[in-house]
C-alpha cells in the first residue's frame, strides 16, 4: 500500500520559483497524469518528489504500508531506498554500460537486492528485446528500446511509487502508443502507483485515472481523465488538443 | 567471495613464479628495476580506482604517495618500526587525506576536481619543505639495516614486499570492479546525475573510492625511503609519479583491473630499459609520446585495442 500527498509545495531553481503552492495526491494503485505544455513545472514537480529539487515550502508525504515519510529535504538515494523509482525524461541511461548492468543498477536499493534474480527474469519476460540485447551497450540501442530499458531499470527496484517523466519525448508516435500500452499492462500486472508527467494529452488519458493540469507552476484544473477530456476549454488552451 | 580467493591464490602463484625467476637470475639490479616497476603497478592500480572506475582524474597522486614516504621517515626517526608495520599506518594516513580531499572537492566535477588535486600536491609539497623534522627541503637520510633475515639483500627484501603489495592491489581492484561498489562507480563515471536518480549513493561511493585509492598510493610510498635511502621533497613530489600513475592506466585501459597492470608492466619496464640504454631523463619523454599516441589513436588503451581486434576477427570468421 502506498500513496503520495503533496501539500502547498513551492520549489524552483535559485531565484526562479517554478512551483507555486501546488497540492495533489496519488492514491494507492492509481495512475495520475501531470498535464500541461512545456515549461509549466511538470518535471520540477517530479524532481521535487525524487529529491533532485529541494522544496522551498510545503510537504511531500509518502505513505508506505502504514508509515508516513516526509520526502521534502531527503536525498534522492534515501527516497529511492524507500521505494520510489523514476523513469527520467530523456531516459538518462548509462550509455557505456550494458543493458544488464543498467538493469542491475536499478536494483541498488537495499530492499530490492534479494529479489534481483526474480526481477531480472521478470524484466526480460516483459521486454524480450532487452533479453536479446543484455550484453549490448545501452547507448547503441534505438530510442524506443532505450525507453523500454529506462522503464525496466525503474521496475528493477520493485517500486512502491513509480514516477515517469515525459515518456513520449523524442519517440515516434507508434512507439509512444506501444510505450503507453506497456505502462498500462505493467500497472495492471503489478498494481503500481504511478505519477506521470506527460504533455501528450491523448496518450496520457489512455492510462490515467485522474489528471492535474499545471499552468505556470499552479494547478489550474483537476479531475478524472474523462472530465478533463470533455472540457473543451482545457483541451483547447492547455493541452494542444 | 570464493572466486575472489581463487584469483588471489592464482595471483600469488604468479608472484611466486616471478620471485623464483628473479632469484634464478640472482642479480641485484633485477631487484632494483623490478621494485620500481612493481611500485608503479600499485600506484597505477590505485589511481585507476578513482580515475578509471569512477571517472575522476587525480593529478595529485604524488601527494598520497608522499604521505606514505614521509610516514616512514617520521617512524624511522622515532619508533623505528619494521617496514611491514609502517605499511598500514602510511596507508591509513593517505586514506584519511583521500577522504578529506573527497569531502572538500567531490562536489567539483571534471577538470575542476583535477585542478584541486593538483593544488593538493603543491600544498603538501610546501608543507614538507618547511618541516625540518623530516629534513625540509634538504631531504633526509634513511639508513637501512645492513642485513635482513631470509633474504640475500635488503633490496631483495623490499622487492618481495612490493611484489606482495602489487598482487594484493590488483586483487583488491578486481574485487572492487566486480562488486556492487564497482557497478555504482561505473554508473557515476557514465552519468552521475542519472546514477543519483537511480538511487546510487553517489557521494558515499566517491568517498570510498578516494579513500581506497589514497590508501593504496600511501602504501606504495612507505618502503621508498629504505629503497633510495635518501628522500627529499622535489624527488618525492616529482612529476614522474603523478604522470606515470595516470599514463599507465590510460595506456593499458581504464575500465578493468588488467589495464593498469599491463600499462605499468609495459611502461615501467620500458622506462627501466631506457634508463640503462639511453638516459634517465628520457623516461618522461617516452611516457609523453606514448600517452599522446594512445589518447588520440586508441582512447580505450591496449585492452580496448585488444577487444576491437577480437571483435573484428570474430566478425570475419563468423
- A103 neighbourhood in chain B, CB within 8 Å: none
Q: What is the pLDDT of residue A229?
A: 77
Residue of B nearest to A90 (CA): B194
**CA-based nearest distance B114→chain A, Å:** 22
Q: What is the pLDDT of residue B161?
A: 94
Cell of B56: 575522476
Quick check: B199 and A88 CB within 8 A?
A: no
pLDDT digits (tens, 9 = 90+) for A126-165: 899 999 999 999 999 998 899 999 999 999 998 999 999 9
Q: What is the pLDDT confidence band of residue A238, given thresholds at 50, 70 and 90? A: low
Q: What is the pLDDT of residue A197?
A: 93
Residue of A nearest to B191 (CA): A94
Q: For A14-54, where are the E strands, in sequence order?
A: 16-26, 31-35
- A93 neighbourhood in chain B, CB within 8 Å: 191, 194
Cell of B178: 566486480
Residue B314 makes CB contacts below 8 A (sequence gap 6+) with: none
Print the SS3 string covering B144-171. Answer: CCCCCCCCCCHHHHHHHHHHHHHHHHHH
DSSP secondary structure string for all residues of A120-139: HHHHHHH-HHHHHTTTSBGG
Provide the whole-model pTM. 0.89
**CA-based nearest distance B177→chain A, Å:** 12
- A50 neighbourhood in chain B, CB within 8 Å: 197
**Which positions of chain B have pLDDT values less than 70?**
318
Q: What is the pLDDT confidence band of residue A168, given thresholds at 50, 70 and 90? A: confident
pLDDT digits (tens, 9 = 90+) for A17-56: 999 999 999 999 999 999 988 888 999 999 999 999 999 9
Instruction: Please enumerate, as own/partner, the contacts of A135-142 that have beta carbons within 8 Å and a separation of 24 or more.
Output: A135/A98, A135/A99, A135/A100, A136/A98, A136/A99, A137/A95, A137/A96, A137/A97, A137/A98, A137/A99, A138/A93, A138/A94, A138/A95, A138/A96, A138/A97, A138/A98, A138/A99, A138/A102, A139/A93, A139/A95, A139/A96, A141/A99
Q: Where are the alpha helices (DSSP H) in A172-231?
A: 173-190, 201-207, 225-230
CB-based contact, A50 to chain B, within 8 Å: yes
* Bridge partners for A22 per DSSP: A9
- B191 neighbourhood in chain A, CB within 8 Å: 92-95
Interface size A-B, in CB pairs within 8 Å, comes to: 59
pLDDT digits (tens, 9 = 90+) for B74-97: 999 898 888 899 999 999 999 999
Q: What is the pLDDT of residue B318?
A: 60
- A94 neighbourhood in chain B, CB within 8 Å: 186-187, 190-191, 194-195
**CA-based nearest distance B190→chain A, Å:** 6
Quick check: B186 and A101 CB within 8 A?
A: yes
**CA-based nearest distance A191→chain B, Å:** 21
Please report where in the chains the cell 524507500 appears, as a residue.
Answer: A82
Number of residues assigned to chain A: 241
**Triad A120, A124, A127: Cα angle to 5°:** 135
CB-based contact, A94 to chain B, within 8 Å: yes
Cell of B95: 586514506
**CA-based nearest distance A22→chain B, Å:** 23
**Triad B172, A115, A103: Cα angle to 5°:** 65
CB-CB: which of A95, A96, A105 is closest to B198? A105
d(CA B3, CA B6): 5
Cell of A190: 503489478
Chain-centre distance for alpha carbon B247: 11
Q: How far apart are the first and last CA of chain B?
A: 36
CB-CB: which of A81, A92, A95 is closest to B197? A92
Tell me what the pLDDT averaged over chain B comes to. Answer: 90
Residue B294 makes CB contacts below 8 A (sequence gap 6+) with: B250, B251, B301
- A85 neighbourhood in chain B, CB within 8 Å: 199
Q: What is the pLDDT of residue B238?
A: 84
What distances in angstroms separate CA A190 from CA A28, A171, B231, one per listed residue? 12, 25, 66
Residue to test with chain B: of A52, A71, A75, A77, most B Cβ within 10 A: A77
Evaluate whether A221 touches A212 at the Cβ level (below 8 Å). yes
Residue A66: pLDDT over 60:
yes
Q: What is the pLDDT of residue A239?
A: 57
Cell of A196: 506521470
What is the number of other CB atoms lying within 10 angstroms of the CB of residue B119?
14
Q: What is the pLDDT of residue A11?
A: 94
Number of residues assigned to chain B: 318
What distances in angstroms separate CA B287 from CA B53, B181, B239, B245, B248, one per listed residue? 22, 31, 12, 11, 9
Quick check: B199 and A157 CB within 8 A?
A: yes
CB-CB: which of A80, A86, A97 is closest to B190? A97
What is the number of other CB atoms lying within 10 angstroms of the CB of residue B299?
12
3-state secondary structure of A70: strand
CB-CB: which of B183, B190, B202 is closest to A104? B183
In this predicted model, which residue has the larger pLDDT, B284 or A209?
Answer: A209
CB-CB: which of A86, A97, A157 is closest to B186? A97
Tell me what the pLDDT averaged over chain A comes to. Answer: 90
Q: Which of A196-205, A213-222, B215-224, B229-238 has the highest mean pLDDT?
A: B215-224
Quick check: A92 and B193 CB within 8 A?
A: yes
Strand duo A161-165 + A193-197: pairing: parallel
CB-based contact, A153 to chain B, within 8 Å: yes
Quick check: A94 and B187 CB within 8 A?
A: yes
Share of chain B above pLDDT 90, in %: 53
Amino acid at each position: 500500500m502506498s500513496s503520495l500527498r503533496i501539500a502547498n509545495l513551492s520549489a524552483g531553481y535559485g531565484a526562479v520559483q517554478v512551483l507555486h503552492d501546488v497540492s495533489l495526491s496519488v492514491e494507492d494503485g492509481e495512475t495520475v497524469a501531470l498535464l500541461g505544455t512545456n515549461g509549466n513545472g511538470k518535471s520540477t514537480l517530479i524532481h521535487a518528489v525524487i529529491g533532485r529539487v529541494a522544496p522551498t515550502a510545503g510537504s511531500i508525504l509518502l505513505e508506505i504500508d502504514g508509515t508516513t515519510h516526509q520526502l521534502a529535504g531527503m536525498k534522492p538515494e534515501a527516497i529511492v531506498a524507500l521505494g520510489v523509482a523514476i523513469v527520467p525524461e530523456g531516459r538518462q541511461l548509462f550509455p557505456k554500460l550494458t543493458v544488464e548492468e543498467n538493469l542491475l543498477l536499478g536494483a541498488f536499493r537495499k530492499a530490492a537486492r534479494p529479489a534481483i534474480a526474480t526481477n531480472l527474469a521478470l524484466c526480460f519476460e516483459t521486454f524480450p528485446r532487452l533479453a536479446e540485447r543484455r550484453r549490448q551497450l545501452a547507448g547503441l540501442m534505438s530510442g524506443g528500446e532505450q525507453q523500454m530499458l529506462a522503464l525496466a531499470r525503474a521496475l528493477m527496484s520493485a517500486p512502491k511509487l513509480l514516477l515517469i517523466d515525459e515518456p513520449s519525448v523524442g519517440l515516434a508516435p507508434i512507439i509512444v502508443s506501444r510505450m503507453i500500452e506497456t505502462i498500462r499492462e505493467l500497472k495492471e500486472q503489478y498494481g503500481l502507483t504511478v505519477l506521470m508527467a506527460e504533455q501528450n494529452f491523448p496518450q496520457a488519458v489512455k492510462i490515467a485515472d485522474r489528471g492535474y493540469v499545471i499552468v505556470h507552476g499552479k494547478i489550474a484544473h483537476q479531475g478524472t481523465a474523462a472530465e478533463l477530456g470533455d472540457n473543451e476549454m482545457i483541451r483547447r488552451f492547455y493541452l494542444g488538443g | 567471495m570464493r572466486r575472489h580467493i581463487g584469483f588471489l591464490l592464482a595471483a600469488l602463484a604468479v608472484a611466486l613464479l616471478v620471485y623464483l625467476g628473479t632469484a634464478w637470475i640472482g642479480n641485484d639490479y633485477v631487484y632494483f628495476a623490478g621494485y620500481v616497476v612493481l611500485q608503479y603497478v600499485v600506484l597505477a592500480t590505485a589511481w585507476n580506482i578513482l580515475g578509471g572506475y569512477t571517472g575522476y582524474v587525480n593529478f595529485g597522486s604524488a601527494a598520497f604517495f608522499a604521505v606514505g614516504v614521509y610516514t616512514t621517515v617520521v617512524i624511522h626517526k622515532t619508533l623505528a618500526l619494521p617496514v611491514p608495520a609502517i605499511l598500514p599506518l602510511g596507508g591509513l594516513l593517505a586514506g584519511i587525506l583521500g577522504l578529506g580531499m573527497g569531502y572538500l572537492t567531490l562536489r567539483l566535477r571534471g577538470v575542476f576536481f583535477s585542478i584541486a588535486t593538483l593544488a593538493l600536491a603543491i600544498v603538501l609539497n610546501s608543507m614538507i619543505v618547511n618541516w625540518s623534522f623530516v629534513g625540509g627541503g634538504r631531504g633526509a637520510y634513511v639508513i637501512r639495516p645492513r642485513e635482513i633475515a631470509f633474504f640475500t639483500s635488503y633490496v631483495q627484501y623490499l622487492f618481495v614486499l612490493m611484489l606482495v603489495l602489487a598482487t594484493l592491489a590488483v586483487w583488491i581492484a578486481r574485487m572492487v570492479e566486480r562488486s556492487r561498489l564497482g557497478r555504482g562507480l561505473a554508473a557515476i563515471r557514465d552519468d552521475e546525475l542519472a546514477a543519483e536518480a537511480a538511487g546510487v549513493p553517489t557521494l558515499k561511493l566517491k568517498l570510498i573510492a578516494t579513500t581506497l585509492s589514497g590508501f593504496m598510493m600511501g602504501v606504495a610510498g612507505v618502503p621508498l625511503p629504505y629503497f633510495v635511502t635518501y628522500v627529499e621533497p622535489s624527488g618525492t613530489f616529482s612529476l614522474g609519479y603523478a604522470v606515470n600513475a595516470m599514463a599507465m592506466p590510460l595506456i593499458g585501459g581504464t575500465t578493468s583491473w588488467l589495464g593498469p597492470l599491463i600499462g605499468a608492466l609495459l611502461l615501467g619496464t620500458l622506462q627501466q630499459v631506457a634508463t640503462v640504454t639511453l638516459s634517465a631523463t628520457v623516461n618522461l619523454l617516452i611516457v609523453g609520446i606514448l600517452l599522446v599516441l594512445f589518447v588520440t589513436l586508441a582512447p580505450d588503451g591496449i585492452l580496448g585495442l585488444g577487444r576491437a581486434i577480437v571483435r573484428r576477427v570474430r566478425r570475419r570468421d563468423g
